[in-house]
């Protein structure tokens, strides 16, 4: 089972700790013997980096956007918004509750005034958990518009890597982002793996090399083209080539996916980040971790394509499957918390992948931690 975690309530808040949400795992292998090598496809903005250069949002705005997805209310008798809970949670606290995000969208100034002001103290306390300890680091920390310093990559991401290493798991990390923060995410992770992170010096023990060359993935109706440095691969002749390419990657690398293609496909699965899947591969297990993954083909960010099926289908037809990944503690910056050893989620087949695209999904900043499974 994989588990999605919401950050624990601050001390003295009087709120009970939220219940972890189990996520069923399809085909995950346990135990040291015979376990498949992991290839982790990891989104950057709002998933492991609490800021976004494109939007200009820093951790303060990112946290506000996240709280919009985890606070709950409903319409009152006169149509006015009424809160049903004073604390953020993964689950709706009652059957007729909806998140503030679902009703009004994400607000980067959510707690500064208006309806969200009641969560201002929570915002301040959680923001402190993201604060960088000690002197700023050129690559590992970031400054917001007020000159305050925060972690560039979430501590819980480093805990994930450390937990996999301690468990003896072979793995590679592939950043997959629509944004422009790939180069600095790669540089930050290289510094951390060099042992420069003051809170995670043991990461130097991980034998992960970092390729700082940013790659690019571009999609069209005819094919998907991958480029990185002198490398170029396309799916027009054989979709398995890209599966084999990602399966063979070592260490850490990254690619910028095709945001315009996603937008042209109404932000649906058909235009999402491509993920090739071979469920019968006994040696490699691909996992996609992204805050915008939904179990709804009309509103999700990943386009999974099962090779066993795709190789017998007409070119361009989508496979009826979707990827659900575990989310780690978004604000897991407290040093007293034990490291989380996640059992990561796997590909799940879902009906309806060939429905016509529809709906719009704005680019979120923190995982909404949906609980559809």
pLDDT digits (tens, 9 = 90+) for 79-105: 899 999 998 986 789 999 999 988 998
pTM, two decimals, is 0.73
The answer to whether the CB of 7 falls within 8 A of the CB of 330 is yes
Q: Which regions of 13-59 does DSSP assign to beta strands (E)?
A: 21-23, 37-42
pLDDT band at 306 (very low <50, low <70, confident <90, very high): confident
Note the pLDDT tens digit of each residue in 125-149: 989 999 999 999 999 999 998 999 9
- CA dihedral angle for residue 39, residue 44, residue 47, residue 52, rounded to 10 degrees: 180
pLDDT at 310 over 90: no
> How confident is the model at residue 154, as a pLDDT?
94
| CA distances from residue 89 to 60, 102, 328 in whole angstroms, order as listed | 19, 14, 14
Residue 362: name the closest of 7, 107, 75, 188 by CA.
Answer: 107
Residue 127: name the closest of 331, 301, 289, 308 by CA.
Answer: 331
Neighbours of 218 (CB within 10 A): 15
Asked which of 82-86, 203-207, 266-270 is least confident by mean pLDDT, the reply is: 266-270
> How confident is the model at residue 331, as a pLDDT?
36
- Please tell me the distance from the alpha carbon of residue 336 to that of residue 24, in angstroms, as a whole number: 28
> How confident is the model at residue 263, as a pLDDT?
93
- The residues near 248 (Cβ < 8 Å, ≥ 6 apart) are none
Note the pLDDT tens digit of each residue in 336-363: 333 333 333 333 332 232 322 233 333 3
> How confident is the model at residue 90, as a pLDDT?
67
Note the pLDDT tens digit of each residue in 148-175: 999 999 999 999 999 999 999 999 999 9
| CA distances from residue 256 to 52, 57, 215 in whole angstroms, order as listed | 14, 19, 6
> How confident is the model at residue 59, as a pLDDT?
94
pLDDT band at 107 (very low <50, low <70, confident <90, very high): very high
Please give the distance of CA 127 from its chain centroid, rounded to a whole number: 19
pLDDT band at 237 (very low <50, low <70, confident <90, very high): low
- Please tell me the distance from the alpha carbon of residue 197 to that of residue 201, in angstroms, as a whole number: 6
Between 238 and 274, name the one with better pLDDT: 274
What is the average pLDDT score of the chain?
A: 78
pLDDT at 9 over 90: no
> How confident is the model at residue 309, as a pLDDT?
52
Between 205 and 17, name the one with better pLDDT: 205
- Please tell me the distance from the alpha carbon of residue 314 to that of residue 58, in angstroms, as a whole number: 44
Mean pLDDT, range 233-250, rounded to an integer: 90
- The residues near 342 (Cβ < 8 Å, ≥ 6 apart) are 2, 3, 160, 163, 326, 328
Counting residues of the chain whose pLDDT is more than 70, the rounded percentage is: 73
Neighbours of 69 (CB within 10 A): 22
Between 14 and 57, name the one with better pLDDT: 57
Which segment, 67-71, 254-258, 318-322, is predicted with the most confidence on average? 254-258
Which segment, 4-8, 25-29, 255-259, 310-314, is predicted with the most confidence on average? 255-259
> How confident is the model at residue 89, as a pLDDT?
86
């Amino acid at each position: 089972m994989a588990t999605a975690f919401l950050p624990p309530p601050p001390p003295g808040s009087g709120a009970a700790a939220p219940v972890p949400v189990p996520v069923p795992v399809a085909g995950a292998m346990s135990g040291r013997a015979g376990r498949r090598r992991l290839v982790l496809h990891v989104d950057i903005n709002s998933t492991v980096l609490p800021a976004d250069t494109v939007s200009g949002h820093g951790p303060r705005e990112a946290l506000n956007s996240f709280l919009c997805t985890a606070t709950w209310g409903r319409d009152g008798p006169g149509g006015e918004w009424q809160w049903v809970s004073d604390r953020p949670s993964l689950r709706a606290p009652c059957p007729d509750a909806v998140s503030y995000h679902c009703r009004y969208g994400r607000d980067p100034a959510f707690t500064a005034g208006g309806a969200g002001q009641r969560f201002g103290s929570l915002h301040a306390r959680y923001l402190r958990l993201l604060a960088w300890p000690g002197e700023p680091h050129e690559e590992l920390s970031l400054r917001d518009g007020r000159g305050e310093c925060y972690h560039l990559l979430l501590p819980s991401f480093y805990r994930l890597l450390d937990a996999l290493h301690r468990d003896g798991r072979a793995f590679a990390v592939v950043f997959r982002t629509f944004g422009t923060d790939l180069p600095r995410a790669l540089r930050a992770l290289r510094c951390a793996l060099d042992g420069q992170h003051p809170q995670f010096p043991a990461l130097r023990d991980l034998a992960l090399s970092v390729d700082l060359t940013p790659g690019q993935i571009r999609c069209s109706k005819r094919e998907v083209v991958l480029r990185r440095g002198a490398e170029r691969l396309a799916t027009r002749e054989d979709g398995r080539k890209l599966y084999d390419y990602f399966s063979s990657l070592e260490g850490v690398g990254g690619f910028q996916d095709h945001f315009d293609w996603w937008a042209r496909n109404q932000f649906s699965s058909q235009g999402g980040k491509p993920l090739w899947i071979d469920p019968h591969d006994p040696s490699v297990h691909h996992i996609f971790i992204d805050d915008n993954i939904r179990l709804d083909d009309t509103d999700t960010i990943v386009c999974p394509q099962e090779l066993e099926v795709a190789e017998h289908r007409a070119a361009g037809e989508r496979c009826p499957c979707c990827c659900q990944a575990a989310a780690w503690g978004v604000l897991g910056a407290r040093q007293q918390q034990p490291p989380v050893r996640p059992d990561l989620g796997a590909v799940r087949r879902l009906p309806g992948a060939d429905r016509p695209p529809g709906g719009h999904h704005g680019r979120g900043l923190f995982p909404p931690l949906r609980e559809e499974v």
